[in-house]
A and B are shown apart, each in its own frame.
Chain A
Amino acid sequence: MIEIRGLEKYFGALQVLKGIDLDVAKGEVLSVIGASGSGKSTLLYCINGLEPIQKGSVIVDGTDVHAKGTDINKLRQKLGMVFQQWNSFPHLTALENVALAPKIVKGKSKAEARDIAERQLRHVGLDDKLNVFPSALSGGQQQRLAIARALAMEPTYMLFDEATSALDPELVGEVLDTMRLLAEEGMTMICVTHEMGFARDVSDRVAYFHQGVMEEIGPPEQIFGNATSGHTRKFLANVR
């Protein structure tokens, strides 16, 4: 379970998160929507400790992410992350991209890591690309590679930071399908997304962020059909 309490985050003098309270239960799929600059991506970075926070707390399975004594590298193994810009490692093959972290972070043997990598690449439909370098993959394939790489650490949670925003329109579908597959398998997911169809169809809850505040959270039917906040309604009217 992820418990966020009174989270405040500043970049210099600019406050990007203004006191967020949010619980995400195991097995839940939460979509986070909102305009650019609303703080939704920053929220993800605060959850896995890639950004320090100024106030409040983030507790993952009972461990305070931002506490001094926390072994953040160990905790991050529970929190897989997929980025907008894919971030495949260009100097490694698809297989090596996925096998590296299990090997050096978890201490798996070469053979074990290879097995894991092959399994996860099959999982995302890239089993014919094992020895291909990322430069020879399409954006959609690279993003699926990034998903496989995160899954190889056997995380409890998956954080998606606008996983489809940088993709050509015709490649969005394959990545969303992979994310749907994970949701069906029961993965706990927090998806920062601009894909309203995905948010509506796949998530258990949808949160709307506006200027650093979580304006509204609820089941998709409520957010998309019957939003109480004027900001939410306006945003949704504009993206449709």
Chain B
Amino acid sequence: MIGVDWPTYVQLLGLVQNSIIAAAVLGVVGGLIGVFVMQRDMAFAVHGISELSFAGAAAALLLGVNVVAGSIVGSLVAAAIIGVLGARARDRNSIIGVLMPFGLGLGILFLALYPGRSGNKFGLLTGQIISVDLPQLGLLLGISALVLVSLLVIWRPLTFDSLDPEVASARGVPGRALSIVFMTLLGLTVAVSVQVIGALLVLALLVTPAAAALRVSASPVLVPVLSMLFGLVSAVGGILLAIGGSLPISPYITTISFAIYVVCRLLERRVKSGASRRPRTPALAEVAR
């Protein structure tokens, strides 16, 4: 970024306008759903889904159909398998561990068979946001809006089920149905994120912002807001930095998102080592570990 040619930069900015909009929206949606990914301990599932999403996108590329659609199909298949077979956390991890290399292998096979340019190929793994065209942008925005609205509608029951499935169920929250809906929303979010940041780096938008937010707050309002903000800053900031140079976008996004996380961890330490966590009566302090 040293010696940036500003007129050229502004010109480039106009060219990647679609990408910036897509990144902003994905940063927000990824940050929001990331809060539930953390609560439901599903970071590994996100990674597993993204590999199958990659396989779906690669298959679509090979067949000459819409890559986003292929990506979505792959994602939803993975989300359904994980949701149905992996209701319990222990089963889930082994199923994801089995699914992930299979998806990645399939994807590599399809790419190897694909006769087109190799630049398209690895974009699916490591990001290709510069190439977002208008119809694609429309699809991304539509899906993101659907995920956003759905999450807000099921927010409280999903929070209840994530915290305490037994009590939630006793109170009439349909845990199983919610779980299926959540996995579907997660699958959709992963599929659109793969288009921006690539299958290998999806976690930087779906997990890191929420993990960072949880370091500095436990408020059910502040955590989602911060997480969305962190996702937005990472995704858009990554593009703004990348178009000035010749490096790909993904490393910028992952680095910003990682830096935010590190700062949040440092802030957390300062908050905790500062004033004592809370006043307690001696009798309570004694028995509270």
**A, B co-complexed:** no
Interface residues of chain A, those whose CB is within 8 Å of chain B, are none
